[in-house]
Amino acid sequence: MLVLWALLTCVLVGVLLMVAITPSLYTVIGVALSLSALGVWGLLSARVLHNLRLPISARDFYRSGHVTSTDLSACAGGGGGLSPRPPMLCRVTLAHPGEPAHIREVVLLSQQAAQETAQPTAPAAARPQRPTLRVGVLGSGTVGSQVIRLLLEQADDFAARSGARLEITGVAVRDVDAPRDEAVPRELLTDDAQAVATSNDIVIELIGGIEPARTLILAAFASGASVITGNKALIAAHGPELYAAAAEANTDFYYEAAVAGAIPVVYALRESMAGDRVTSVLGIVNGTTNYILDEMSTKGLSFEEALAAAQELGYAEADPTADVDGLDAAAKAAIIASLAFHTRVGMNDVEVEGIRSITADDIREAHASGCELKLLAVAQRREDEQANGISVRVHPALVPADHPLASVHGGFNAVLVEAEAAGRLMFYGQGAGGTPTASAVLSDVVAAAAHRVNGGQAPRESSYADLPILPPELALTRYQVQLRVADAPGSLAAVAQVFADHDVSINSVRQASYVDVGDELALVTIVTHAAPVGRLEAAVEGLRAQERVAEVVSTRRVEGL
Ligand SMILES: NC(=O)C1=CN([C@@H]2O[C@H](COP(=O)(O)OP(=O)(O)OC[C@H]3O[C@@H](n4cnc5c(N)ncnc54)[C@H](OP(=O)(O)O)[C@@H]3O)[C@@H](O)[C@H]2O)C=CC1
Ligand SMILES: N[C@@H](CC=O)C(=O)O
């Protein structure tokens, strides 16, 4: 339109000139040149008008319907593309260059956009606030104090990750006057645990033991709170009741810290492995006993010295017999097996043997066999002609020195998961101690808080498979058996026959020729292939009855071969 206007103007001016001046050839040529020049001017002026540089977003241009393209490379001060980004200065090409109505419309849009830009940015304080979630902590010991410290120190990070500010409203302890970590604000301490349990959005239980932890957690669920705990003893004893209370209240129940401290093994089994069939889990899940065995093995410390050091480091439970006698590991094994096999497994389903009877001699013998002695938790699925079900157990076992579990030192834990599709997975990390365990607790806090802000929920109990728990004699394992036998022809054959009679296959035989056990005796170490414990025990009884066997010196389970 503008171009047409310019051309018409030129023609009109030319005709007027021709009329006013005496016509001559030069005049005609001059007029023609003037007309061309004016035409070019008109075109250029139209071009200038549609090379707009306006504060407007690219989307606004296209919304006008009068823009064919936007030179985004010429844009400044805002986002490109068609998304509704902040207004920017751009060069645009109009569909109908020079059309005043179209230009007006685009300019109008640009002015609106400019006004939007001119709105002052809201100061930080006036920006919409994140919701605040009230957090109550039950217990402020080794783990609780570190949870509180990190929650306070990293409040902004937790707010950004969860979508809510997490405000600790109270910390329940037994003795408010007892000396404790200075990171725990004294004004938050109370001995009214019931009030803390029932007046918060999120309740973190770090008292330990069965009561009052159970009652407090149930009260917290009843009040609508999400609950996070590291209390494996309670979960192994009352897991289904706690899951049911969480489902009834429609809130979250999380317990990452209950198994293997900082290692995210609960998450792995509950969520990451939900698409697979787990066949076995083998792990070192108690930091205290691993620390004790490791100190005995590497530094020659006595059992008592090593236990005192583990307590000092905050690894041990309030009552360390739970660690030493394998009960803490058994509770973790029960939780692991429940998650791995979608079956309810409680403490009574776990066969348990602790490390109290392990001596320096046992450690030396293990080394002589090229092994380390470890307290292992084993959860195993059997699905064969002889058995269908799961076996769960905790016991000291020999682990070959080149096996990954043999090099797990100090308070560290490691868990090996075998699954049909994934194959073997290994998880390794700090299994005990205040700060590592706090890391696991806080991951649960962030998840629960995010659910309260955005919706969603923690996984509910999964026990649909309901597999039978196999009796201990049906568990598959290997034995290392040490014997003193008559050092005479036919002795090894007689020993081998006993194993064969009980359908146990021998993997290796070693005879220590240098052992000074008398002229006519030799020390023989036999390692079997995997067999049901019942058959292995029967074979050992058969050995005791064999006349060429002077003594069954020891029997030890071997795992990880
Ligand atoms: N320590 C570790 O490495 C790990 C621990 N866990 C688990 O975490 C939980 C806490 O362990 P941890 O921190 O070591 O335990 P602690 O013994 O160090 O702390 C327990 C806390 O609970 C308080 N408490 C005890 N009874 C009551 C009660 N009746 N009412 C109110 N408060 C009470 C104690 O108060 P007060 O201070 O006044 O005595 C103390 O603050 C346990 O379930 C444990 O199994 C899990 C993984 C690792
Ligand atoms: N006492 C436990 C603490 C963590 O669960 C251990 O030693 O592993």
> Do the beta carbons of residue 258 and residue 232 sit within 8 Å?
yes
Using 50, 70 and 90 to split pLDDT, how confident is the model at 561? confident
The reported pLDDT for the residue numbered 517 is 53
The reported pLDDT for the residue numbered 318 is 86
Q: pLDDT per residue over 340-364, tens digit each?
A: 999 999 999 999 999 999 998 899 9
Closest atom of ligand 2 relative to the 317 alpha carbon:
1
Domain presence at residue 146: yes
Q: Model pTM greater than 0.95?
A: no
Domain shared by 337 and 301, yes or no: yes
Closest atom of ligand 2 relative to the 290 alpha carbon:
7
Residue after which a domain boundary falls, among 380, 409, 431: 431
The reported pLDDT for the residue numbered 560 is 85
Q: pLDDT per residue over 236-251, tens digit each?
A: 999 999 999 999 999 9
Domain presence at residue 66: no
- HSE-CB for 451 with a 13 A CA cutoff: 19
Domain presence at residue 69: no
> Which of 146, 173, 188, 347 should be mutated for ligand 1, with most atoms under 8 A from CB?
173
Closest atom of ligand 2 relative to the 286 alpha carbon:
8
Domain presence at residue 323: yes
Q: Which residues line ligand 2 (CB under 6 A)?
A: 261, 286-288, 315-317, 323, 328, 431-432
137 beta partners: 171, 204
Is 332 part of the annotated catalytic residue set?
Answer: yes
What letter does residue 412 receive in the DSSP assignment? Answer: E
Q: Please tell me the distance between residue 335's alpha carbon and the centre of ligand 2 in angstroms.
A: 14
Closest atom of ligand 1 relative to the 232 alpha carbon:
45
The reported pLDDT for the residue numbered 27 is 59
Nearest CA among 311, 270, 183, 328 for reference residue 462 = 270
What's the structural domain count of the chain?
Answer: 3
Residue 179: C-alpha distances to residues 184, 309, 483 (Å)? 10, 21, 55
Domain presence at residue 355: yes
Q: pLDDT per residue over 416-463, tens digit each?
A: 999 999 999 999 999 999 999 999 999 999 999 999 999 999 999 999
Q: Please tell me the distance between residue 315's alpha carbon and the centre of ligand 2 in angstroms.
A: 5
- Give the ligand with the smallest distance to the CA of 323: 2
ipTM metric: 0.99
Q: Report the alpha-carbon distance of residue 16 to residue 31 in Å, rounded.
A: 10
The reported pLDDT for the residue numbered 51 is 44
Domain shared by 143 and 287, yes or no: no
Q: pLDDT per residue over 460-484, tens digit each?
A: 999 999 999 999 999 999 999 999 9
Domain shared by 299 and 366, yes or no: yes
The reported pLDDT for the residue numbered 181 is 93
Domain shared by 287 and 418, yes or no: yes
Q: pLDDT per residue over 162-219, tens digit each?
A: 999 999 999 999 999 999 999 999 999 999 999 999 999 999 999 999 999 999 999 9
- Give the ligand with the smallest distance to the CA of 310: 2
Contact residues for 486 (Cβ-Cβ < 8 A; gap 6+): 520, 521, 548, 550
Q: Report the alpha-carbon distance of residue 243 to residue 233 in Å, rounded.
A: 15
Domain presence at residue 325: yes
CATH value at residue 186: 3.40.50.720
Q: Please tell me the distance between residue 145's alpha carbon and the centre of ligand 1 in angstroms.
A: 9
Q: Atom 6 in ligand 1: which residue has the minimum CA distance?
A: 230
CATH value at residue 480: 3.30.70.260
Q: Work out the angle at residue 66's Cα, subtended by the Cα atoms of residues 64 and 70, and round it to the nearest 5 degrees.
A: 90
Q: Please tell me the distance between residue 316's alpha carbon and the centre of ligand 2 in angstroms.
A: 6
Lowest-confidence pick of 19-28, 131-140, 220-229: 19-28
Domain shared by 427 and 345, yes or no: yes
> Do the beta carbons of residue 414 and residue 408 sit within 8 Å?
yes
Domain shared by 280 and 234, yes or no: no
Q: Please tell me the distance between residue 205's alpha carbon and the centre of ligand 1 in angstroms.
A: 8
The reported pLDDT for the residue numbered 520 is 77
Q: Please tell me the distance between residue 287's alpha carbon and the centre of ligand 2 in angstroms.
A: 5
Q: Please tell me the distance between residue 288's alpha carbon and the centre of ligand 2 in angstroms.
A: 6
Q: Which two tokens stand for residue 134?
A: 């009230």
Domain shared by 302 and 400, yes or no: yes
- What would the mean pLDDT of 111-123 be, rounded to a whole number? 51
> Do the beta carbons of residue 528 and residue 502 sit within 8 Å?
no
Q: Who wins on pLDDT, 402 or 126? A: 402
> Which of 137, 138, 142, 319 should be mutated for ligand 1, with most atoms under 8 A from CB?
142
Q: Which value, to the nearest 10 degrees, does the dihedral of the CA atoms of residues 345, 346, 348, 353 take? A: 90
Nearest CA among 193, 202, 221, 223 for reference residue 132 = 202
Share of the chain above pLDDT 90, in %: 71
By CB neighbour count within 10 A (0-12 exposed, 13-18 middle, 19+ buried), where does 71 fall? exposed
88 beta partners: 56
- Give the ligand with the smallest distance to the CA of 233: 1
Q: Which two tokens stand for residue 454?
A: 């955005």
> Which of 207, 214, 290, 412 should be mutated for ligand 1, with most atoms under 8 A from CB?
207
Q: Which two tokens stand for residue 231?
A: 């209390």
Residue after which a domain boundary falls, among 431, 462, 497: 431
Q: Report the alpha-carbon distance of residue 108 to residue 120 in Å, rounded.
A: 21
Q: pLDDT per residue over 258-316, tens digit each?
A: 999 999 999 999 999 999 999 999 999 999 999 999 999 999 998 999 999 999 999 99
The reported pLDDT for the residue numbered 78 is 36
- What would the mean pLDDT of 31-42 be, rounded to a whole number? 54
Q: Which residues line ligand 1 (CB under 6 A)?
A: 139-144, 172-175, 178, 193, 206-208, 212, 230-232, 257, 261, 314-315, 317-318, 432-433, 437
Q: Who wins on pLDDT, 411 or 95? A: 411
CATH value at residue 270: 3.30.360.10
Closest atom of ligand 2 relative to the 289 alpha carbon:
7
Buried-exposed string 81-114: b where 16+ CB fall within 10 A, e elsewhere? eeeeeebbbbbbbbeebbbeebbeebeebbeebe
Domain shared by 498 and 416, yes or no: no
Domain shared by 253 and 208, yes or no: yes
Q: Please tell me the distance between residue 255's alpha carbon and the centre of ligand 1 in angstroms.
A: 15
Closest atom of ligand 1 relative to the 433 alpha carbon:
3
The catalytic position among 232, 299, 332, 374 is 332
Which residue matches tokens 């002589």? 368
- Is the four-CA dihedral 307, 308, 313, 318 of positive or negative sign? positive
> Is residue 542 pLDDT above 50, yes or no?
yes
- Is the four-CA dihedral 286, 287, 289, 293 of positive or negative sign? positive
Domain shared by 250 and 302, yes or no: no
Nearest CA among 321, 524, 293 for reference residue 411 = 293
Mean residue pLDDT across the chain: 85
Q: Report the alpha-carbon distance of residue 113 to residue 299 in Å, rounded.
A: 74
> Is residue 42 pLDDT above 90, yes or no?
no
Q: Atom 3 in ligand 2: which residue has the minimum CA distance?
A: 432
Query: Beta strands 350-352 and 388-400: pairing type?
Result: parallel
The boundaries of the domain holding residue 369 are: 265-431
Using 50, 70 and 90 to split pLDDT, how confident is the model at 1? very low
Q: Who wins on pLDDT, 324 or 61? A: 324
> Which of 319, 328, 430, 437 should be mutated for ligand 2, with most atoms under 8 A from CB?
328
Domain presence at residue 439: no
What letter does residue 87 receive in the DSSP assignment? Answer: -
Domain presence at residue 105: no
The reported pLDDT for the residue numbered 9 is 54
- What would the mean pLDDT of 533-556 be, rounded to a whole number? 96
Residue after which a domain boundary falls, among 406, 431, 456: 431
Q: Atom 32 in ligand 1: which residue has the minimum CA distance?
A: 173
> Is residue 531 pLDDT above 60, yes or no?
yes
Domain shared by 288 and 241, yes or no: no
Domain shared by 250 and 341, yes or no: no
The reported pLDDT for the residue numbered 310 is 94
- Report the side by side order of strands in the sheet with 165-172: 189-190, 165-172, 132-138, 202-205, 226-229, 253-254
Nearest CA among 443, 429, 437 for reference residue 157 = 443
Buried-exposed string 8-41: b where 16+ CB fall within 10 A, e elsewhere? eebeeebeeebeeeeeeeeeeeebeeebeebbee
By CB neighbour count within 10 A (0-12 exposed, 13-18 middle, 19+ buried), where does 313 fall? middle
Angle between helices 232-249 and 213-222 (to 10 degrees): 20
By CB neighbour count within 10 A (0-12 exposed, 13-18 middle, 19+ buried), where does 330 fall? buried
Using 50, 70 and 90 to split pLDDT, how confident is the model at 512? confident
Q: Please tell me the distance between residue 179's alpha carbon and the centre of ligand 2 in angstroms.
A: 23
Contact residues for 282 (Cβ-Cβ < 8 A; gap 6+): 376, 377, 378, 379, 405, 415, 416, 418, 559, 560
Q: Report the alpha-carbon distance of residue 57 to residue 81 in Å, rounded.
A: 9
Instruction: Report DSSP letters for 133-196, one per residue.
Output: EEEEEE--SHHHHHHHHHHHHTHHHHHHHHSSEEEEEEEE-S-TTS---TTS-GGGEES-HHHH
> Is residue 384 pLDDT above 70, yes or no?
yes
Which residue matches tokens 């043997």? 353
